[in-house]
Structure formats: structure tokens, C-alpha cells
């Protein structure tokens, strides 16, 4: 790749104005002091921003709301007072007035909030033309959580958050407005303080032992891996802005089809150092089990398990092996200390934290230590500099879960273990051989002896500047720039000692796995922004132009060692050693131009822009791909009755989804010998040297209403997306020697609706109630498929799989539904992984110093392939195994089939294992009390006690452990398959929060 020849001509040649901004020559005559308070509670508003319009005079008030303005001309002036979370006020300051008291009304609907409208520009929410969601740090951290995406559950309309398993420390997938691809990336673009950061998920290579990639689906995403956005501490976040569709995210170009998540970390505020401390103590508790069949006689046990069943059976003895395995309740803890402060020119924020979350299974958990330092410096009146650094160390142990073909993972082995089998160790600590899993695999022994450790160090650092380099006439020009690096190093070490029963039966007992992954993202960019207001004040124009350069380097090294010397975990202690290395290098370059006009007394917003991208992942690395956008909004004032204002808005945009690394290449294997000489062999995939990004086009429209004196807000958004140039696979002619080939072709559409109601129906000095209801519904359809319909993901139609078929939903689940006259399975749609709708309900009640917060997450209509129940049925251990009467065929008993009825229909019928995953979950609940600031002889800024619950209960008819699971991790389509996942848990935390 090379830069475009020549430089783009900056379209600021239109700066022809010759007048300079006049300087106020009046002699300073007075000092204006005052205070800012909440208009309802009367409490001081911290750090209000005060400015005198038409001058350069301004300040940021203190934490107690007081402020002082020096050198104020003694004449009538217009004063503006603002603070995030409040409605700004402008009023006349009389010539003889030197002391004022300002009462600000709460901005419940966040209409004053500045929201991202371009690569380097923002606009007030009142004029925003897109449905952009912003979650502030307080809302994000209502209940302690390990990862940022998990904290977004129920807080962003149009977002679906799925946790791949209940394992501690990540593995969470965020989908915005439904699926956007079949074979390309499904991750949103994550940008932290302007730096595009990695969310790579590097597997631990446990498939060497579990053999999960063997059989009908060799998908490598079955290892319950952690996605790396889990490294960032949610409590360092000031706000998260979510751009959900191309109409909002087009300015990010070829990586934005899955949406963009912009994360802004905390900054300092002027004033003396302010210390905040948080201490937490909690625990996790197993929240669900499948249960197990209770056998009543030795004959029954022998009928199911043969002679081994009769030998192991003892009347009246049963063991809840699920509860024993997942019964760990060790204390978890977290500690955090931060300091912030500064003056008018310098501000700082620093934090340090450590946490230890203990899993419900032995030897599982998540540890994190993090240090953040953010600095901002004003150089004179024209240059602002910022430096943002974050160092994180995480250690994760997730155990051995998910699909496997060796009965090694916990819930896979439990499925074939009857309840009368005691798996606990004897007095000498020796675990019994499990005769029901073939290899003797004992999940309690596996949990106790297997080491599955992941160690990650991550450094994210960036610097930015904003230079107000010219003011000519009515033009105000800024040069902005950013440079950042995101580096992570991940090490996975897994040790399966030879004394494990399933290792002892192996030809090479004892396995050690070592995996090292390194990922480096480098970002640079420069922009020019021109703000122009004519002398008439009829409009405001904001023009921005700039470029970005990004590079990504990923390297993964794997070592597999087996037949270990007894007790040795080092990979050099084995007699059989294998090595694998993978490298990926990607270079991207992008240019953007955007124009925004605010007219008609700031009621009409017009916006247009374009992004041009090139990438080394594309077949033609020099070709520019263009992504345009345009938007309009208009605020209709009413101001009387119950309707205060109505805003109409519409937007259009295009984004891309670049090819995955390597899809343009034909891979070669170098581990071969030809006539004794080293050589390479072509593998079975044919790359496409002309491959291009997928393209998504979106039309979005809607309206926002402010009701009852801004106490209630309603937002309705309708969107239509069309994805073209899909990256697909096809089977070339057998004579080519290839089994599959990548190419561009086909399209699908996605359309939906988002509704949001927020407000504060009651707010007075004693009692306050805030509520929010969010609703999302979408549907997809394959509109053009240039290849025959094909099954995709899962394990085939016998067990339930996904099928890409023209005219059908992109997320349909198909399976066998009886046999045709020729004895062949009839394959039909049996369900859909996409929910019919998603809703959330947030409520916050405040009474004096007490506060109750609740968040309910409700999903209806999503279907899953429940292969966990299939495993229990195959093992004849299902709690509902015995039917009350003669065994019926699946169509006659579904959905109330017994285990033996379900398994009797396997092969002919699949519908019994395609099940509804609808649920209602209490995702977050917290109760807190603010103690008086002067307590125990200390003069504190605040002191709060908090009791919080996460996932306290789930109401669902789903027969598996949890309807929010995914055996296949982060895939666009094919996630909703439940196979031996880590079990779900509920969490309870007691916290003390203190400010000095």
C-alpha cells in the first residue's frame, strides 16, 4: 500500500474573510462571583462551566458550585452557565450586578449532551440526526461487572449482548441492529480515547485434548476464548457512545458495518486533588443445573449402562454432581483508588485497581490489575494537549468447557454419568475412575488437576492535540491530531497431567500446551476543522477533513507437547512436540471529508460526508472504496400543552466490512517433505485475489418528542439496511483440486424498529423516580444468493443447523421433520436465532439518602439448538427420561416429550432440540444509602454503602443451563448452539464508596 499521490487540497481556500475578530478594549472593572445549584434539590452543582458570550472570559466552577470571573467589563453582558446533565441557561448580567445565584434544571433527556457526529466533530443531542446511544459511567457501573460489553445489557436500544458462557472474565458478544455478515467480521469497531483497539479472541488450543474440531464441524471457535475488550476496567469509563448503523458510523468506513463503540475514559476537573476509593466484597453462586435422572433399581441401572450400572448402583444413594462441581463460593473482592484534579491549564486523572473474581468451579476465576493516568494540558489559549495511558494485567482460568469429542469438558462428561456414581475423591485424595465415559474422565478430577491459565499484559497509550491555529474573519480553524498504540501479549498454558484418567488411557499420557499471542495496533491521524459563523448569525458551518493510518500485527505461536515426564509441565518435557506459528499483518489508510450546517436558529441540521478507505486485506490494495453519508433533522417547537418539541430526522450512510485476513490468499502448508526435501503443499481453500469489502447501505428515519416540560422523552427509529457484495464460499470444479473458494456476491436486507421512552415522572427534594423502557425488533432476509442454498454452522440437519437460503431469514434454524416417501429426511425451518423482540426496563427510585435501582432484560422468540439436552438424552441421564406411558413419536409429544421420546426421534426429527430461548432476567439490582458527609469524625465528600446483585433470577422455559450461550463464540451467524458451556451464576456484591 502507498499513500495517495499528492495531498488532498484542503477546502479551506474559501477563507477569504479579511476582518479579524475585534478584541474587547474596555478597561476591566469588576469581579463577578456566584454559585450554581440544582433547581429542585437545591444541592450545589459541581464544576459548572461559566462563560460570557462574545468575549474570551470564562471559567470552570469549583466542586461546591461556586465560581469567580475576573476582569469583567462593567456593562450589560450575556452569561451562559452549563454543566453536563443539566440544561444550559443564558441570561443578562446587568452592568451593576457582581453576585449571582444560578439554578439549573436537570437535563433528564440529555438534550444538551454533545454526541459524536463525525470523526472529529460533535453536535448537541437536541439536533442529532441519528439514533445514537450514550451510556455514562455511572449508568455503566450500577452493578459491578468484569467487561464493558456485559455492562451494556439493557442500556442501548438496538443492542443484543450475549455471553458465550458463564465463565468468569469475558467471552461476551455485542451485536448492533442484528447480523451484518455471513463470513466476515461480526465485531463492532472499538475506539478507546480515539485509538482503534483490538478485540481479538485467541483460543487456548484445548482442542488438542478435547478434539472438538474433529467430526462434522471443525470450527476453531469452540474453545470458550476471551475477547480482549475484557481487559479494560469499566470503572475508568466516563461514557460509551454507540453508533449503531452506517448512517451514523459511515465516517469510520470499511470497518464500521457492525457499528462503532466509542469509549471515553475519565478526565480530571479543576480543583484540589479529590480521592475516590471503592472497596467490594462478593461471591458467585451457581444459578442453574440441568438435574439428573434418579434410578430406582439395579435392573434399571443395568438396562441403561450394562454391568457397570449394576455394579455402581446403590439403592437410596444419589449424588448431585453438578452442584458439587459448581459449588465453589469463595469470596471475590475488588479495590480501586483514583485521584483527579487540576487547574485552568492542567488537569489529571489517575486510578489503580485490583480485583479477584472466583468462579463457581474449582480453579476458575478472573484477576485484573490496572493502572491508568490521563493528563490534559493547555498551552496558552490556542493549544490543548492530552496523554492517555492504561496498563492492564489480567489472569483468567476458565476450565475445560464447550464442545468436545473426548468427553473431557465438564458438562459433556456429566451427561454420561448417572446420579448414583460418586465422583468425589476418597480419604487419600484419589479420584475414582468413571466407568461411564469410556476413558474414565471424571469432571471433578479434571477441575482439580487441569491447569488452564491465561496471562495477558496490555498497554494502551495515546496522545492528541487540538491547535486553534487561526481565526480569520468569522472562521475558527483547528488542527487536531492523534497517535496511539494498543499492544497486548497473551500467554496460555494448559497442563493435563498423566494421572488424569483420560490421559492415562492415551498412547502418550500427559499433555502440555503453550500458546503465545501478540497483537499490536498503531493509529495515527490528522484533521482540520473549520467553524464558520457569518456576521448575520444565520447559520453555523463545521467543515472537517483528515486522514487516518492504522496497522495491525497479530502473531500466534503454539507448542503442543505430549507423553510428558511424570509431573513435568514444561513443553520440553514431552517426547512428542509440535510447533505452529501464525502471523497476520494488516495496513489500512482512510480519508474523510464532512460538512455540517446548523440553520434556522439552530433548528435545522444538514450534514454530508464521505470516507475513502484502502486496505491490505483487499485484493487490490491500492483501490479506494468510498462510503458516503448524509443526514437532516428539524426541531419543530410547540412549547404549549403536553408536547414541548418534536424533532424529525432522517439519515443515509454506507459502511464496509473488510475481508478477513487471508481470504484473498490460497494457503500453503510448509510442513511437508517431497522426496526427502522440504516443500509446500496447496491446501483445500482457493483465495480470491480480487476480493473486496462487503458494503452495507442504511436508511434511517424517526422522530424524537419531548413531553410534559421535558419530564418524558420518546424516541422512535426505523431503519432499513442492505448488505451487498457478500463474502461467500462456493465449491469449485473437482478438477481444480480445491474444496472451497472465496468470492464476492449476493445480498441480504435487515430492517427494524427501535423505541425508547425515558423520563422522570416524579422529581422533588424528597423523592425522585427515573424510568426507561427500550424496545428493539428486526428481521433479515437473503435477497440474492448466487450459490445453491447451504447449511452453515452447528452440526448438520440431524441436530439442527443454520441454512443460508434465498428468500429466507439469514438466521433461520433448520432440521429434519420426518421422512419423504423415498425415506429421505425432510429439511424444514424449525426456528430462528433472531429474537422476535428485545425489551429492557430500568427504574431508579431515590428517597432522601436511599436509592433502589433495577434493570430487567426481556427477550421473546429467540431459538437455540439445545445439544446439551441431547447429550443428557444420549447418556440416558435426563431428569425427565422416563415417559409416563408408551413411547410416542416426536410430533405427537413435542414440546412435552420425555428424554426417551426425544432420543427415539433423533435422525427423523430435530424439532425437539430446537427450543425457545425466551427469558426474563433481573440483570441488575442495587440498593444504596448515602451517609452524611461528616461521619466518624471525618469530613468526606461522600460515603455510600451499596448492596448489588447481578443475574439474581431468570424466568425461562429453556431446558438448558442458560439461554444466553454460544458454543461457537464470536460468529455473525451460528452462535445459538448450546454444548457443554460453563454454567451460569448469580453474583452478590457489598461495596463501600468514599470520596475525600
**The predicted structure's pLDDT at residue 112:** 85
> Contact at 8 Å (CB) between 52 and 32?
no
- Listed residue (411, 406, 331, 397) closest to 362, CA to CA: 397
Mean pLDDT of 507-530: 95
Q: Are 429 and 449 in contact (CB under 8 A)?
A: no
The confidence score (pLDDT) of residue 23 equals 40
* Percent of all residues in the chain with a pLDDT value above 70, rounded to a whole number: 95
- Mean local confidence (pLDDT), 648-658: 96
Phi, psi of 235 (to 5 degrees): -80, -10
Instruction: Assess whether pLDDT exceeds 90 at residue 952.
Output: yes
pLDDT value for 491: 96
Q: What are phi and psi of 192, to 5 degrees?
A: -110, 115
Q: Is the model's pLDDT at 828 over the cut of 70?
A: yes
Give the per-residue pLDDT at 781: 96
Pairing relationship of beta strands 66-72 and 643-657 according to DSSP bridges: unpaired
Contact between 400 and 211 under an 8 Å Cβ cutoff? The reply is no
Mean pLDDT of 11-19: 35
Q: Give the integer Cα–Cα distance in Å for 282 and 276.
A: 20
Instruction: Report pLDDT for 2.
Output: 43
* Residue that wins the pLDDT comparison between 949 and 3: 949
Of the ranges 310-314, 420-424, 504-508, which one carries the lowest mean pLDDT score? 504-508
- When pLDDT is averaged across residues 704-719 and rounded to a whole number, the result is 94
pTM summary value: 0.92
Strand partners, 462: 388, 484
Of 159-163, 693-697, 830-834, the least confident:
159-163
Residue in this structure with the C-alpha cell 501478540, named with its chain if needed: 518
316 within 8 A of 265, measured Cβ to Cβ: no
Q: How confident is the model at residue 566 (pLDDT cuts 50, 70, 90)?
A: confident
Which residues pair with residue 237 across a beta bridge? 265
For 84-136, the pLDDT digits (tens) are 888 888 888 888 888 888 888 888 888 888 888 888 888 999 999 999 999 99
Q: Give CA–CA dist 923/847, Å, rounded.
A: 23
Predicted pLDDT of residue 14:
33
pLDDT computed for residue 18 by the predictor: 34
- pLDDT computed for residue 28 by the predictor: 55
Tell me the pLDDT tens digit for each residue of 896-923: 899 999 999 999 999 999 999 999 999 9
Q: How far is CA 347 from CA 84, 240, 266, in A?
A: 18, 21, 11
State the chain's mean pLDDT as an integer: 90
Average pLDDT on 759-781 reads 94
Q: How far apart are CA 279 and CA 335, in angstroms?
A: 5
At 171, the pLDDT band (50, 70, 90 cuts) reads: confident
Specify the pLDDT at position 5: 39
Q: For residues 727 and 17, which has the higher predicted lDDT (pLDDT)?
A: 727
pLDDT at 936: 63
DSSP H stretches of helix in 761-920: 867-874, 890-893, 899-904
Q: What is the pLDDT of residues 792-806, one digit of tens each?
A: 888 889 999 999 999
C-alpha cell at 861: 422468540
Q: Give the model confidence (pLDDT) of 175-184 as tens digits.
A: 999 999 998 8
Taking alpha carbons only, the member of 866, 988, 962, 963 closest to residue 289 is 962
How far is residue 498 from each of residues 435, 564, 593, measured CA to CA in Å? 18, 7, 62
pLDDT tens profile 224-259: 888 888 899 999 999 999 999 999 999 999 999 999
Q: Please report the pLDDT score of residue 10 as a whole number.
A: 37
- Tell me: pLDDT of 214 over 80: no
The per-residue pLDDT for 885 is 83
Residue 949 has pLDDT above 90, yes or no: yes
User: Distance between CA atoms of 750 and 718, rounded to whole angstroms?
Assistant: 11
Q: pLDDT tier at 562 (50, 70, 90 boundaries)?
A: very high
Task: Flag whether pLDDT at 1 surpasses 50.
Answer: no
CB 162 within 8 A of CB 637: no
- Cα–Cα dist 331/624, whole Å: 54
Q: What is the mean pLDDT of residues 807-831?
A: 94
- What digits encode the pLDDT tens for the residues 580-597? 999 999 999 999 999 999
Residue 673 confidence (pLDDT)? 64
Point out the least confidently predicted range of 50-64, 457-471, 878-892. Answer: 50-64
Q: Environment class of residue 973 by beta-carbon count within 10 Å: exposed (0-12), middle (13-18) or buried (19+)?
A: buried
What pLDDT does residue 226 have? 84
Helix (H, G, I), strand (E, B) or coil at 231: helix
**Which residue has 476591566 as its cell numbers?**
28
pLDDT category of residue 836 using cuts at 50, 70 and 90: very high
Highest mean pLDDT among 165-174, 202-211, 909-918: 909-918
Q: Which residue has the higher pLDDT, 371 or 895?
A: 371
Predicted confidence at residue 88, as pLDDT, reads: 85
- What does the alpha-carbon distance between residue 559 and residue 577 come to, in Å, rounded to a whole number? 7
Q: How far apart are CA 986 and CA 585, in angstroms?
A: 41
Closest by Cα among 139, 142, 140, 144 to 281: 144
- Amino acid 674: pLDDT: 65
Q: What is the DSSP letter of 299?
A: H
pLDDT (0 to 100) of residue 793: 80
Q: Which residues contact 321 (CB under 8 A, 6 or more apart)?
A: 292, 414, 417, 419, 421, 423, 443, 444
**pLDDT tier, 11 (very low <50, low <70, confident <90, very high otherwise):** very low
Residue 541 in contact with residue 596, Cβ under 8 Å? yes
CA–CA dist 558, 199 (Å, integer)? 20
- DSSP conformational letter for 493: E
pLDDT score of 844 more than 70: yes
In the block, which residue shows the cell 434544571?
Answer: 105
Amino acid at each position: 500500500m502507498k499513500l495517495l499521490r499528492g495531498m488532498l487540497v484542503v477546502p479551506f481556500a474559501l477563507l477569504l474573510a479579511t476582518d479579524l475578530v475585534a478584541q474587547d478594549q474596555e478597561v476591566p472593572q469588576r469581579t463577578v462571583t456566584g454559585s450554581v445549584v440544582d433547581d429542585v434539590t437545591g444541592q450545589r452543582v459541581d464544576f459548572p462551566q461559566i462563560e460570557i458570550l462574545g468575549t474570551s472570559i470564562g471559567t470552570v466552577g469549583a466542586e461546591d458550585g461556586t465560581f469567580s470571573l475576573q476582569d469583567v467589563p462593567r456593562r450589560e453582558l450575556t452569561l451562559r452557565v452549563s454543566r453536563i446533565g443539566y440544561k444550559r441557561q443564558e441570561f443578562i448580567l446587568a452592568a451593576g450586578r457582581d453576585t449571582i445565584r444560578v439554578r439549573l434544571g436537570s437535563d433528564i433527556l440529555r438534550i444538551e449532551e454533545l454526541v459524536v457526529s463525525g470523526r472529529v466533530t460533535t453536535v448537541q443531542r437536541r439536533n442529532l440526526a441519528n439514533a445514537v446511544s450514550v451510556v455514562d459511567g455511572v449508568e455503566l457501573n450500577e452493578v459491578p461487572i468484569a467487561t464493558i460489553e456485559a455492562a451494556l445489557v439493557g442500556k442501548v436500544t438496538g443492542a443484543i449482548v450475549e455471553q458465550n458462557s458463564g465463565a468468569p472474565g469475558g467471552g461476551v458478544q455485542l451485536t448492533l441492529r442484528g447480523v451484518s455478515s455471513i463470513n466476515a467480521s461480526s465485531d463492532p469497531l472499538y475506539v478507546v480515547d480515539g485509538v482503534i483497539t483490538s478485540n481479538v479472541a485467541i483460543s487456548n488450543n484445548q482442542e488438542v485434548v478435547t478434539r472438538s474440531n474433529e467430526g462434522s464441524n471443525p470450527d476453531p471457535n469452540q474453545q470458550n476464548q476471551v475477547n480482549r475488550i475484557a481487559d479494560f476496567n469499566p470503572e475508568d469509563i466516563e461514557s460509551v457512545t454507540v453508533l449503531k448503523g452506517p448512517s451514523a458510523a459511515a465516517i469510520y468506513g470499511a470497518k464500521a458495518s457492525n457499528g462503532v463503540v466509542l469509549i471515553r475514559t475519565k478526565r480530571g476537573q479543576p480543583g484540589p486533588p479529590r480521592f475516590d476509593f471503592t472497596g467490594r466484597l462478593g461471591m458467585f453462586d451457581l444459578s442453574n443445573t440441568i438435574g439428573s435422572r434418579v434410578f430406582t433399581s439395579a435392573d434399571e441401572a443395568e438396562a441403561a449402562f450394562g454391568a457397570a450400572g449394576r455394579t455402581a448402583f446403590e439403592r437410596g444413594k444419589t449424588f448431585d454432581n453438578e452442584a458439587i462441581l459448581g459449588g465453589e463460593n469463595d469470596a471475590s473482592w475488588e479495590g480501586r483508588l483514583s485521584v483527579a484534579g487540576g487547574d485552568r491549564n492542567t488537569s489529571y486523572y489517575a486510578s489503580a485497581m485490583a480485583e479477584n473474581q472466583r468462579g463457581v468451579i474449582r480453579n476458575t476465576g478472573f484477576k485484573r490489575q490496572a493502572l491508568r493516568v490521563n493528563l490534559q494540558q493547555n498551552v496558552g489559549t490556542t493549544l490543548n494537549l492530552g496523554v492517555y495511558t492504561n496498563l492492564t494485567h489480567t489472569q483468567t482460568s476458565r476450565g475445560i468447557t464447550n464442545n468436545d469429542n473426548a468427553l473431557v469438558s465438564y458438562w459433556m462428561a456429566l451427561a454420561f454419568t448417572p446420579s448414583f456414581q460418586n465422583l468425589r475423591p476418597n480419604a487419600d485424595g484419589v479420584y475414582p475412575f468413571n466407568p461411564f465415559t469410556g476413558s474414565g474422565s471424571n469432571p471433578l478430577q479434571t477441575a482439580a488437576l487441569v491447569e488452564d491459565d491465561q496471562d495477558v499484559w496490555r498497554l494502551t497509550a495515546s496522545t492528541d492535540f487540538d491547535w486553534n491555529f487561526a481565526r480569520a474573519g468569522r472562521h475558527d480553524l483547528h488542527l487536531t491530531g492523534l497517535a496511539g498504540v494498543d499492544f497486548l501479549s497473551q500467554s496460555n498454558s494448559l497442563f493435563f497431567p498423566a494421572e488424569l484418567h483420560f490421559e492415562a488411557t492415551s498412547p502418550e499420557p500427559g499433555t502440555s500446551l503453550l500458546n503465545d499471542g501478540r497483537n499490536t495496533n498503531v493509529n495515527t491521524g490528522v484533521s482540520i476543522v473549520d467553524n464558520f459563523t457569518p456576521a448575520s448569525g444565520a447559520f453555523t458551518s463545521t467543515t472537517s477533513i483528515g486522514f487516518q493510518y492504522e496497522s495491525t500485527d497479530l502473531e500466534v505461536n503454539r507448542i503442543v507437547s505430549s507423553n510428558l515426564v511424570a509431573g513435568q509441565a514444561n513443553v520440553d518435557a514431552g517426547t512428542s512436540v509440535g510447533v505452529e506459528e501464525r502471523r497476520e499483518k494488516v495496513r489500512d489508510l482512510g480519508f474523510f471529508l464532512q460538512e455540517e450546517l446548523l440553520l434556522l436558529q439552530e433548528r435545522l441540521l444538514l450534514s454530508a460526508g464521505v470516507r475513502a478507505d484502502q486496505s491490505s486485506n483487499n485484493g487490490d490494495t491500492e483501490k479506494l472504496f468510498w462510503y458516503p453519508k448524509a443526514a437532516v433533522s428539524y426541531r419543530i417547537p410547540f412549547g404549549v400543552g403536553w408536547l414541548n418539541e418534536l424533532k424529525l430526522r432522517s439519515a443515509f450512510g454506507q459502511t464496509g466490512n473488510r475481508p478477513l485476513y487471508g481470504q484473498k490468499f490460497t494457503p500453503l502448508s510448509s510442513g511437508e517433505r517431497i522426496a526427502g526435501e522440504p516443500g509446500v503443499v496447496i491446501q483445500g481453500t482457493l483465495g480470491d485475489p480480487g476480493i473486496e469489502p462487503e458494503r452495507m447501505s442504511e436508511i434511517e428515519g424517526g422522530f424524537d418528542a419531548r413531553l410534559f416540560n421535558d419530564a418524558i422523552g420518546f424516541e422512535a427509529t426505523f431503519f432499513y439496511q442492505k448488505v451487498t457484495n457478500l463474502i461467500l464460499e462456493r465449491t469449485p470444479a473437482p478438477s481444480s483440486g480445491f474444496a472451497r473458494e472465496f468470492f464476492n456476491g449476493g445480498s441480504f436486507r435487515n430492517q427494524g424498529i427501535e423505541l425508547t421512552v425515558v423520563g422522570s415522572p416524579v422529581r422533588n427534594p424528597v423523592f425522585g423516580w427515573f424510568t426507561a423502557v427500550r424496545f428493539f425488533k428486526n428481521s433479515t432476509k437473503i435477497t440474492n444468493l448466487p450459490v445453491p442454498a447451504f447449511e452453515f454452522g452447528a452440526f448438520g440437519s440431524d441436530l439442527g443447523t443454520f441454512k443460508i437460503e434465498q428468500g429466507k431469514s439469514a438466521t433461520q434454524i433448520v432440521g429434519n421433520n420426518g421422512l419423504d416417501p423415498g425415506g429421505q429426511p425432510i429439511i424444514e425451518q424449525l426456528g430462528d436465532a433472531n429474537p422476535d423482540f428485545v425489551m429492557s426496563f430500568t427504574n431508579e427510585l431515590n428517597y432522601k439518602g436511599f436509592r433502589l435501582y433495577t434493570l430487567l432484560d426481556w427477550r421473546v422468540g429467540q431459538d437455540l439448538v439445545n445439544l446439551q439436552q441431547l447429550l443428557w438424552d444420549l447418556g440416558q441421564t435426563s431428569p425427565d427420561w422416563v415417559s409416563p406411558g408408551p413411547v410416542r413419536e416426536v410430533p405427537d409429544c413435542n414440546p412435552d416429550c420425555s428424554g426417551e421420546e426425544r432420543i427415539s426421534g433423533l435422525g427423523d426429527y430435530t424439532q425437539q432440540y430446537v427450543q425457545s430461548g425466551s427469558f426474563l432476567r433481573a440483570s441488575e439490582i442495587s440498593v444504596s444509602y448515602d451517609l452524611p458527609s461528616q461521619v466518624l469524625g471525618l469530613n468526606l465528600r461522600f460515603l455510600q454503602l451499596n448492596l448489588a446483585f447481578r443475574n439474581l433470577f431468570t424466568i425461562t422455559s429453556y431446558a438448558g443451563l442458560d439461554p444466553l450461550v454460544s458454543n461457537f463464540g464470536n460468529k455473525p451467524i451460528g452462535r445459538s448452539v448450546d454444548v457443554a458451556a460453563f454454567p451460569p451464576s448469580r453474583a452478590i456484591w457489598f461495596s463501600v464508596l468514599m470520596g475525600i
